Amino acid sequence: MSNTLPSTRSLVAQALHYIDEATGGVVPPIQPSTTFGRDENYELLGAYSYGRYGSPTVTKVEEVLARLDEGADALAFSSGLAAFAALFETVRTGQHMVAPEIMYHGGQDWLRMIAERRGIGLTLFDQTKPGALEAAIRPGETAIVWIETPVNPTWDVIDIEAAAKAAHEAGARLGVDATVATPVSTRPLEHGADIVFHSATKYLNGHSDVNAGVLVTGQANPFWEEIFVNRKYLGSILGTFEAWLLLRGMRTLFVRFEASSRNALKIAKHFKDHPKLDGVLYPGLESHPGHEIAARQMTGGFGGMMSVLVKGGEADAKQVAAALKLFVPATSLGGVESLAEHRKTVEGPHSLVAANLIRLSIGIEEADDLIADLEQALATL
């Protein structure tokens, strides 16, 4: 086998390449043991001692995840937010955090809570305004600058390289939620980020049947060690069966992401000037304010996430969402089935999301069928 495999696709194929020595099986086995034995000298027989610290099937998925983002190491968690919590557990009282005004709402809610409970500063910046991120950072005080790109659910695109530069100049670390871009399209460590986050519940698994989260680090350093210790004591490691399912899902990550991206671009172009819409938010459209950065930063496609702004107001948007027949009205994203959601309804009191916005997660069905479904739903207005 060649030792110079250039693309991430090839690296992942290599990481997933597997032959079970005992049986010749081409997929890894599930090792569900929660405890691991010792020899006559009371030394551990292998690399593991107890399932809450680590286990073989979880290690296997972490190896693939580290390769996907070309990082030094990865840790798998029982959900995206479990990963998020283990990371932000490192922030001490008196320190400060920076995050976008619009981002995954559950994560932002948690930042607000820990800021209040633990006496940590929190500044939310307007992710659409040049210079706002830089202005939010407090040199020497800010511990973590958090960005998400594209931003859920407006799909604003944040320049990772510029954010990394600003964070590092102030002695802070940059964490990037790249759930929507996936490593197929954006690998934040290459742009200077310190930590990459994914809700693996979404595209990485891709089948809407596993809750999982991931952190990938550029460097195995004491900070990373602290995150590992947090996972150990929070007890938030990914379960064995879920790890195995995630390994299975990732085998098709590239083809799923590419199919969703292709569909989404076609749908976005079809609806961008639709008379019943105030607009389509999709970074693949040249009219999108983040398109220029996206074209540079999202090298493997613009992804399957978009939002439509329905003419009228909240009632009209909800009517359209309810009239869809092929799109499933449900939260979440990144599965093979297309989903539609009136986002403001689920985000709660702090939400800055427009009341006429419907978020669409584009799956791998026929684009023309999805277009026809949206057309018939808009025609009910």
Ligand X SMILES: *Cc1c(COP(=O)(O)O)cnc(C)c1O
- Catalytic residues, by residue number, are 52, 104, 177, 202
Cross-strand bridge partners of residue 281 = 307
The residue (of 142 and 236) whose beta carbon lies closer to ligand X is 236
> What is the rounded distance in angstroms from the CA atom of residue 331 to the CA atom of residue 233?
30
The residue (of 147 and 285) whose beta carbon lies closer to ligand X is 147
Q: Which of 62, 159, 177, 194 binds ligand X (CB under 6 A)?
A: 177
> What is the rounded distance in angstroms from the CA atom of residue 198 to the CA atom of residue 188?
11
Site string for ligand X, 330-349 (x = CB under 6 A): ---x----------------
The residue (of 240 and 361) whose beta carbon lies closer to ligand X is 361
Neighbours of 189 (CB within 10 A): 22
Rg (CA), the chain: 21
The first and second tokens of residue 328, run together, are 């499933």
The residue (of 148 and 316) whose beta carbon lies closer to ligand X is 148
52-64: b (≥16 Cβ within 10 Å) or e: eebbbbbbbbbeb
Are 100 and 114 within 8 A, CB to CB? Answer: no
Q: Which helix (H) or strand (E) holds 147?
A: strand 142-148
To the nearest whole angstrom, how small is the minimum distance from the Cβ of residue 79 to ligand X?
Answer: 4
The residue (of 177 and 373) whose beta carbon lies closer to ligand X is 177
Q: Which of 149, 185, 186, 201 binds ligand X (CB under 6 A)?
A: 201
Q: How many residues does the chain have?
A: 381
To the nearest whole angstrom, how small is the minimum distance from the Cβ of residue 296 to ligand X?
Answer: 21
Q: Which of 180, 193, 215, 321 binds ligand X (CB under 6 A)?
A: 180
Q: What is the dihedral of CA 6, 155, 199, 83, to 10 degrees?
A: 100
Number of residues that bind ligand X (CB under 6 A): 17
To the nearest whole angstrom, how small is the minimum distance from the Cβ of residue 105 to ligand X?
Answer: 9
Site string for ligand X, 202-231 (x = CB under 6 A): x--------x-x------------------
The residue (of 180 and 353) whose beta carbon lies closer to ligand X is 180
Are 306 and 267 within 8 A, CB to CB? Answer: yes
**Left if phi > 0, otherwise alpha if psi is -120 to 50, otherwise beta: which for 354?**
beta
Amino acid, single-letter form, for residue 293: I
Q: Which of 28, 71, 107, 279 binds ligand X (CB under 6 A)?
A: 107
Contacts of 51 (CB under 8 A, 6+ apart): 33, 34, 35, 237, 240
The residue (of 11 and 110) whose beta carbon lies closer to ligand X is 110
Q: Which of 8, 55, 108, 199 binds ligand X (CB under 6 A)?
A: 199
Site string for ligand X, 270-309 (x = CB under 6 A): ----------------------------------------
Stretch that binds ligand X, among 44-52, 153-161, 175-183, 335-343 (CB under 6 A): 175-183
Site string for ligand X, 62-101 (x = CB under 6 A): -----------------xxx--------------------
Amino acid, single-letter form, for residue 215: L
Q: Which of 59, 63, 106, 312 binds ligand X (CB under 6 A)?
A: 106
Are 196 and 67 within 8 A, CB to CB? Answer: no
Distances (CA, A) of 240 to 52, 200, 334: 10, 15, 22
Binding site for ligand X (CB under 6 A): 79-81, 104, 106-107, 148, 152, 177, 179-180, 199, 201-202, 211, 213, 333
